[in-house]
Amino acid sequence: MTNDRRQRPASLPEQARRKAMPSWTAPMLATLSHQHFSADSWIFERKLDGQRCLVFCRGSQSSICSRNRKLQNAYYPEILDAIAGIEVECILDGELVTFARGVTSFSRLQKRMHIANPGKDLCKRYPVVLYVFDLLHLSGHDLTQVPLRERKKLLRQQLTFNQTIRYLPHINCDGESYLKMACNKGWEGVIAKQADSRYHHSRSRQWLKFKCNNGQELVIGGYTDPQGKRNGFGALLVGYWQYQRHGNSLCYAGKVGTGFSNDFLDWFQRRMAHYQRKTSPFTDLTEKISGVHWITPRFVGEFAFTEWTDKGRLRHPRFLGLRKDKPARQVVREQAVPEQG
């Protein structure tokens, strides 16, 4: 590496184009698929259970941004310190994670992702790692038109990885065996990517999600009173947006009453209380729910569940954590790519 962050690397692919590094660029998102496969033209990466981010490396002016463009510098000082030492100007795509017994844990990341300017003790107790899997810009050159396999090759050549900033490896061809191994190890799943794909700033079918378990981001539209000795709240009422020509609607997906710590019950009830409203935000909810408090649908949570019922409700849902990297208005029911008949 060189001290001149904008010096052109010795060998860039012909698809690289000279362009000033932008202050923001939208991330590429994967599409859910239940059709698992193996193919020579695809690569397969571990699906991480963390917070997606884009990292803009400019030395002391470096920044960490969530996928909805919120600056995260104050939340992850150890990551900020590490990327400040990267000697090339670049944009990295990656995921911020913490580990629990060797497996990435979104629930454990909750201990960090909502606390700005954490102290050294908290950082040591819940260390955060940045896994990098893509390179979008390098030394004044846009790489989004460069095939994925070549972008990953450049990524490994240009960066020095360590315990804080890690390269996310991949395997070639054998997606089905890799998914089986991932599920046996307790991973969230696998991301399948077309090896020659360009980087699209949107959701794409050139990147696919193979999940080991069902999970879904959902909007929180209300909560119920606690029962017995429970504090804070009883259950969250959740849903997803449906966008149609005749109008938009927030569809009800059910109640979630498990997965909360006592501290979270108190803390989040106080937050939700600031956004109470008189009417239900759900357009299709007809059943009466006792002890309910409606709120403005601005909070997004991550939930695990066994399946969707025929009525569009979650079966056996469990709360995993709050998300702050996705606007509530972008939360829709995740639909898998149709199987080929």
Kindly list the domain boundaries of the chain, sorted by start residue. Answer: 17-211, 214-330
Strands 189-194 and 170-173: what pairing?
unpaired
Write out pLDDT tens, residues 35-90.
Answer: 999 999 999 999 999 999 999 999 999 999 999 999 999 999 999 999 999 999 99
Give the mean pLDDT of the chain: 94
Backbone torsions φ then ψ of 158, nearest 5 degrees: -90, -20
Q: Model confidence over 104-135: pLDDT tens digits?
A: 999 999 999 999 999 999 999 999 999 999 99
Residue 194 pLDDT > 90: yes
pLDDT of residue 177: 97
Q: What is the pLDDT of residue 4?
A: 57
Residue with tokens 């504090």: 231
- Asked if CATH classification 3.30.1280.10 holds for the domain at 214-330, the reply, yes or no, is no
With 50 as the cut, is the pLDDT of residue 341 above it?
no
- The answer on pLDDT for 329 being more than 50 is yes
Q: How confident is the model at residue 339 (pLDDT cuts 50, 70, 90)?
A: low
Q: How confident is the model at residue 335 (pLDDT cuts 50, 70, 90)?
A: confident
Give 230's contacts (C-beta < 8 A, 6+ positions apart): 265
Sign of CA dihedral 42, 43, 49, 51: negative
Interval 23-28 mean pLDDT:
97
Inter-residue contact 251 to 242 (CB < 8 Å): yes
β-sheet with 29-32: strand ranges across: 29-32, 203-211, 189-194, 39-47, 170-173
Cβ-based neighbour number of residue 41 at 10 Å: 11
Burial (Cβ within 10 Å: 0-12, 13-18, ≥19) of residue 258:
exposed
Percent of the chain with pLDDT over 90: 90
Per-residue model confidence as pLDDT tens digits over 201-228? 999 999 999 999 899 999 999 999 999 9
The pLDDT score that the predictor gives to residue 336 is: 86
Question: In this structure, how many other beta carbons lie within 10 angstroms of the beta carbon of residue 175?
Answer: 22
Please give the model's pTM, rounded to 2 decimal places. Answer: 0.87
Distance CA 142, CA 90 (A): 9
Tens-place pLDDT, residues 257-277 = 999 999 999 999 999 999 999
All residues at 6 or more sequence positions from 138 whose CB lies less than 8 Å from its CB, including other chains: 9, 12, 16, 88, 89, 90, 154, 158
Q: State pLDDT tens for residues 279-316.
A: 999 999 988 999 999 999 999 999 999 999 999 999 99
Do residues 187 and 105 make contact, with C-beta atoms less than 8 angstroms apart? no
Q: In the predicted model, what is the mean pLDDT of residues 169-186?
A: 95
Instruction: Return the DSSP state at 71.
Output: B
| pLDDT at residue 11 in the model | 76
Q: What is the pLDDT of residues 223-257, one digit of tens each?
A: 999 999 999 999 999 999 999 877 899 999 999 99
pLDDT given for residue 1 in this prediction: 37
Query: Length of the chain in residues, anyone?
Result: 341
Phi and psi based region of residue 244 (left: phi greater than 0; alpha: psi -120 to 50; beta: remaining)? beta
Mean pLDDT for 129-143 is 97
Token digits of residue 226:
């606690």
Residues involved in catalysis? 47
Give the pLDDT band (50/70/90) at residue 155: very high
- Give the gyration radius of the chain's Cα atoms: 21
Mean pLDDT, residues 87-101 taken together: 96
User: Residue 199 forms beta bridges with which residues?
Assistant: none
Architecture of domain 17-211 in CATH?
Answer: 2-Layer Sandwich (3.30)
